[in-house]
Amino acid sequence: MFCLNGGAAATVMALLLVLFSAFQSTQVYAQQPGGVSVGYYQSNGLCNADIEGIVLNTVQTAAQTDPTIPAGLLRLLFHDCWVQGCDGSVLLDPTASNQNPEKLATPNLTLRGFDIIDQAKTALEEVCPKTVSCADIVALAAWDSVTLSGLSSGGLPMDMPTGRLDGRVSSGTEAAAVLVSSQSTAAELTQQFEQQGFSQDEMITLSGAHTIGRAHCSEIIPRLYNFPGSANGVDPSLDPTYAAQLQGECPENPEPSTTVELDPITPFIVDNNYYTNGMDNRALLLSDNAIFQDFQTEFSSMLNSDDNLLWQQKFADALLHMSTLNLKSAKDGEIRVNCRVVNGVK
């Protein structure tokens, strides 16, 4: 047993208080990363308009004209959050002071949906000027995209929190270095997702986003015509019937704009067909195929292919995790007036 004199006891008490308040703030952070919450603008008295409804209406109208748009908006959130966090940095256009923003990095040249974000922003500026961040619009639009395309949570609450701030930094060089490649192995994908704080299971779960949308033929030409070590040039791990179908859609020298569906069975529905296709050797991208061929990731992929509801719930959770990645604070964030330009920049 030891005794402390008055001074030492006060020091220990102060240390405990510091530790306790650090623990408390970690708890608060864990509940609301970056201070985001469902209905943030309304509950903080910043805007009483139906912000979520306005974004939903914009996405719904766009999807009625072009049913492929939800896929574009979902990918936009991924590419926004992966570089500099979910801060709308992917939306910034080149300017005299920043000629190479994220948008110009090669993997981002096929992004779509910028005009839909602009439309929602214009509508929101009319009801609550200078209030709603572009980063929140990207997150809400992606969420609407997956729910409109059939993502169900089996009764769990599903709302996208808001309260993100827009960033002022956007670098094409950084985006090119950080964004994942369709030529990656399962180990590389696992490592890249772990670097951003995601488990391997979350990586596999999020890859199921390729249940909707399309890829340009250029992404898969090497698998179809000049796969290393293959006598006929076709990746031997591709189902031969599917490979022949893909060769029909993607000739050896395709038009640069030619695309193929990532999930040919239900290209507009968010379901676990990505996994059933993959288990049948019908994963389109080499990186997708990797998670079905690798013994470490195969089991989890098989579980997702067996249970649509389980995958949908995991996907909703992982997407919420992704949508709150590395959020900006008042120190380095702002509410942009125009989603394409940092405030005050010409």
Q: Which is nearer to ligand HEM, 92 or 217 (CB)?
A: 217
Copy the structure tokens of residue 118: 């602009």
Q: Which residue is nearest to ligand HEM (CB)?
A: 213
Q: Is 5 helix (H, G, I), strand (E, B) or coil?
A: coil
Q: Which is nearer to ligand HEM, 189 or 342 (CB)?
A: 189
**Is 74 among the residues that bind ligand HEM (CB under 6 A)?**
yes
Q: By CB under 6 A, how many residues form the interface with ligand HEM?
A: 26
Copy the structure tokens of residue 205: 């779960």
**Is 198 among the residues that bind ligand HEM (CB under 6 A)?**
no
Q: Are 134 and 88 in contact (CB under 8 A)?
A: yes
**Is 103 among the residues that bind ligand HEM (CB under 6 A)?**
no
CA 244, CA 249: separation in Å to the nearest integer? 9
DSSP state, residue 219: G
Residue among 91, 140, 209, 260 that touches ligand HEM (CB under 6 A): 209
Q: Is the dihedral of CA 334, 335, 338, 344 positive or negative?
A: negative
Residues 6+ apart with CB under 8 A from 300: 200, 201, 204, 205
CA 184, CA 188: separation in Å to the nearest integer? 6
Q: Which is nearer to ligand HEM, 72 or 278 (CB)?
A: 72
Please give the span between the terminal C-alpha atoms of the chain, in angstroms, as a whole number. Answer: 69
Which of 90-98, 163-171, 177-185, 327-335 is the region at the interface with ligand HEM (rule: CB under 6 A)?
177-185
- Point out the residues that are catalytic: 79
Residues 6+ apart with CB under 8 A from 114: 76, 91, 339, 340
Which x/- pattern, by CB under 6 A, does the window 301-320 give for ligand HEM?
Answer: --------------------
**Is 339 among the residues that bind ligand HEM (CB under 6 A)?**
no
Q: Which is nearer to ligand HEM, 242 or 268 (CB)?
A: 268
* Nearest in space to 46 (alpha carbons), one of 163, 203, 177, 194: 163
**Is 267 among the residues that bind ligand HEM (CB under 6 A)?**
no
Strand 333-334 and strand 259-261: pairing?
A: unpaired
Which x/- pattern, by CB under 6 A, does the window 106-125 give for ligand HEM?
Answer: ----x-x-------------
Distances (CA, A) of 292 to 154, 225, 274, 276, 315: 26, 21, 11, 10, 18
Residue among 180, 238, 246, 339 that touches ligand HEM (CB under 6 A): 180
**Is 56 among the residues that bind ligand HEM (CB under 6 A)?**
no
Q: Which is nearer to ligand HEM, 133 or 289 (CB)?
A: 289
Residue among 75, 282, 314, 321 that touches ligand HEM (CB under 6 A): 75
**Is 210 among the residues that bind ligand HEM (CB under 6 A)?**
yes
Q: Which is nearer to ligand HEM, 124 or 142 (CB)?
A: 142
Q: Is 205 helix (H, G, I), strand (E, B) or coil?
A: helix
Which residues are near ligand HEM by CB under 6 A?
68, 71-72, 74-75, 78, 110, 112, 180-182, 184, 189, 206-207, 209-210, 212-216, 219, 262, 285, 287
